[in-house]
Amino acid sequence: MAQIIDGKLTSAQIREEIKAEAATLTAKGTQPGLAVIIVGEDPASQIYVRNKEKACDEVGFYSEKYALPAETTEAELTALIEKLNADNKIHGILVQSPLPKHLDEKRIVAQILPCKDVDAFSEENVGKITLGTPRFLPCTPAGIMELLKRYNIETKGKHAVVVGRSNIVGKPMGLLLLGADCTVTTCHSRTVDLAKYTKDADILVAAVGKSKLIKGDMVKEGAVIIDVGMNRDENGKLSGDVDFEQCEPKASYITPVPGGVGPMTITMLLQNTLTSAKEAANK
Ligand code: NDP
């Protein structure tokens, strides 16, 4: 039977630590501040943004939310980002994705000052992560590394298999695991015989977006299984990319969905905003 990695509990512990640091920083005159921009009415994005605002309140951060209409032009969005770039109260800026189709996400993200790009999506910040000298860590992979650390899970020399190669999860996940001395294999939709790789994983990270793709016969006895997937069925019920019932008996550690990786992502966003505020305070 596996030990359940409790992302909710770990996240609450880290938020307490962040809250204490934020209070000290605020007392010295710098309250960490996050600005969140949402364009359009995407219901899932509305929930994410609300959760980010709530999380800021919980740890004593200042926050601003900009809910812009779907017809917002690139020029209007750029003007807002420039205003926030220059605002000393704001240490982190994030533009909630997905953006409406007429807005070029890459060009928009490029407008955010790299020192305020707390999602770590800009070319400069991705480059720094690749070079092993990160300013901020990408939130979801950073949350996973923090879970591994806090559960004392050894990474050195382990074979980590990441299923998924997106820019926000799979690719940076592989880089962080490589930095933690894992031997890393990245799989994707064109991988031939996925199970051949997953069966050899000491640490398996599933970041695909396909409910219960990873079955019990695809994992090794004693594997650490990290499930990033957040898939909703027609009734709105959430499931991961891992078939929990089948995989849990074989795993040594496993993250549940919900309550595993999910709660850590916003916590790491808070951590990055705190890092940015500390840097600003030291300038
Ligand atoms: P993307 O859709 O951007 O990427 C999915 C990846 O999975 C792609 O690299 C794709 O390959 C690969 N893939 C698709 N089908 C298969 C398959 N059958 N076998 C192997 N690989 C496959 O998704 P994201 O990375 O943004 O998100 C992945 C999941 O994680 C989603 O469920 C998302 O909701 C969730 N998520 C959860 C977060 C959290 O905080 N818990 C945060 C972010 C995401 P290819 O590149 O070839 O297309």
C-beta 260 within 6 A of ligand 1: no
C-beta 210 within 6 A of ligand 1: yes
Q: What is the average per-residue pLDDT within 148-175?
A: 98
C-beta 78 within 6 A of ligand 1: no
Q: Which of 98, 104, 86 is nearest to 37 (CA)?
A: 98
Least confident of 19-23, 45-49, 153-157, 220-224: 45-49
C-beta 191 within 6 A of ligand 1: yes
C-beta 228 within 6 A of ligand 1: yes
Q: What is the average per-residue pLDDT within 70-96?
A: 98
**Is 262 strand, coil or helix?**
helix
Q: What is the mean pLDDT of the chain?
A: 97
- Adjacent-strand bridge partners of 226: 205
Measured CA to CA, the distance from residue 109 to residue 104 in angstroms comes to 9
In this structure, the dihedral spanned by the alpha carbons of residues 216, 219, 224 and 230, taken in order and rounded to 10 degrees, is -60
What strands, in cross-sheet order, belong to the sheet with 183-187? Answer: 3-4, 253-254, 224-227, 203-206, 159-163, 183-187
For residue range 199-231, what is the model confidence (pLDDT) as tens digits?
999 999 999 999 999 999 999 999 999 999 999
Look at residue 236 in the predicted model and tell me its pLDDT. Answer: 87
Smallest CA separation from ligand 1 atom 31, residue = 209
Smallest CA separation from ligand 1 atom 24, residue = 166
Choose the residue to mutate in 212, 230, 231 for probing ligand 1, maximizing ligand atoms within 8 Å of C-beta: 230
Measured CA to CA, the distance from residue 108 to residue 85 in angstroms comes to 13
Smallest CA separation from ligand 1 atom 13, residue = 189
Look at residue 8 in the predicted model and tell me its pLDDT. Answer: 98
For residue range 10-42, what is the model confidence (pLDDT) as tens digits?
999 999 999 999 999 999 999 999 999 999 999
Measured CA to CA, the distance from residue 262 to residue 278 in angstroms comes to 26
Considering the candidates 6, 119, 241, 243, report the single residue annotated as catalytic.
Answer: 119
Could you identify the atom of ligand 1 that is nearest to the CA of residue 260?
A: 41
Is residue 246 among the annotated active site residues? no
How large is the greatest C-alpha to C-alpha distance in the chain, in angstroms? 56
**Strand duo 224-227 + 238-239: pairing:** unpaired
Q: Which of 197, 200, 195 is nearest to 213 (CA)?
A: 195
Q: Which of 117, 108, 155 is nearest to 35 (CA)?
A: 117
Look at residue 283 in the predicted model and tell me its pLDDT. Answer: 86
Look at residue 163 in the predicted model and tell me its pLDDT. Answer: 99
Q: Are 163 and 241 in contact (CB under 8 A)?
A: yes
Smallest CA separation from ligand 1 atom 41, residue = 262
Look at residue 7 in the predicted model and tell me its pLDDT. Answer: 98
Look at residue 193 in the predicted model and tell me its pLDDT. Answer: 98
Could you identify the atom of ligand 1 that is nearest to the CA of residue 264?
A: 40
Measured CA to CA, the distance from residue 221 to residue 198 in angstroms comes to 11
Smallest CA separation from ligand 1 atom 5, residue = 208
For residue range 243-272, what is the model confidence (pLDDT) as tens digits?
999 999 999 999 999 999 999 999 999 999
**pLDDT exceeds 90 at position 1:** no
C-beta 45 within 6 A of ligand 1: no
Q: Give distance in angstroms: CA of 143 to centre of ligand 1.
A: 16
Is residue 52 among the annotated active site residues? yes
C-beta 165 within 6 A of ligand 1: yes
pTM score: 0.97
Look at residue 115 in the predicted model and tell me its pLDDT. Answer: 98
C-beta 164 within 6 A of ligand 1: yes
Q: Give distance in angstroms: CA of 27 to centre of ligand 1.
A: 41
Considering the candidates 96, 117, 158, 243, report the single residue annotated as catalytic.
Answer: 96
